[in-house]
Structure formats: structure tokens, C-alpha cells
Amino acid sequence: MHLIFLALQTRLIELPLSKFSQLIPCSIYFAPRDVDSLDRNKPAYIYCHTCHRSPFAGKIMKRKGFTRVYDLKDGFSQWLKAQLPVDTGSSR
């Protein structure tokens, strides 16, 4: 099964990927305007830094036909706190 991992920036001003020094490995950065380019049949694991914006983005994705949207509980900040692996950008 192929999974789509998403790092979300849902502010009105979207930041370029270079502003993110770390992401969960295998993540792709995407802006909300790009959601239509994703495969709706694949699971989408989404997250933001603190889990405040990603639930909103998940609702939008479900309205657009995504049936398997999963949000990282407590966001990327908890991922970092747990000292789980991160991609520092050197392999992107």
C-alpha cells in the first residue's frame, strides 16, 4: 500500500518548504490549494506543528472526496518531543 504523508501550512500566507527545517520522514509538503492533485483513493496522513490547523485541513479533504484521512494526534511538536526520526532536508 502506498501512503501519502502531508505537512500542512494552512495560513493565509503559505510558507515555502525551505522555511521548514524538519519534517517527518517520507513527508511531502503541500499547500492547501494543491489538494486536488492528490490521489483520493490513497490514505492521507496529515499533520501540522501543534495539531491546530490539520483538523481543519482534514475536514476540507473529506469534503473533497478523500475517505481515509488520518491526523497526527498532538502534531509534529509531540513527534519531536518523543525524539522520533525526522528528515532534516538533506535528502529532500
pLDDT tens for each residue of 66-92: 999 988 888 888 999 999 998 886 544
Q: Is residue 91 part of a domain?
A: no
Q: Is residue 62 part of a domain?
A: yes
> Could you tell me the pTM of the whole model?
0.73
* Residue 91 in grid coordinates: 535528502
Q: Using CB atoms within 10 A of its CB, is residue 49 exposed (0-12), middle (13-18) or buried (19+)?
A: middle
Q: Is residue 17 part of a domain?
A: no
Q: Is residue 69 part of a domain?
A: yes
Report the CATH number that the domain containing residue 45 is assigned in CATH.
3.40.250.10
How far is the C-alpha of 24 from the C-alpha of 42, rounded, in Å?
18
Q: Is residue 86 part of a domain?
A: no
Q: Indicate the SS3 state at residue 21.
A: coil
What domain range includes position 50?
A: 4-9+22-81
Q: What residues pair up with 70 in beta bridges, in sequence order?
A: 45
Q: Is residue 15 part of a domain?
A: no
Structural domain count of the chain: 1
- β 4-8/69-71 pair status: unpaired
Q: Is residue 16 part of a domain?
A: no
Q: Is residue 58 part of a domain?
A: yes
- Residues 31-40: tens digit of each pLDDT: 666 788 888 8
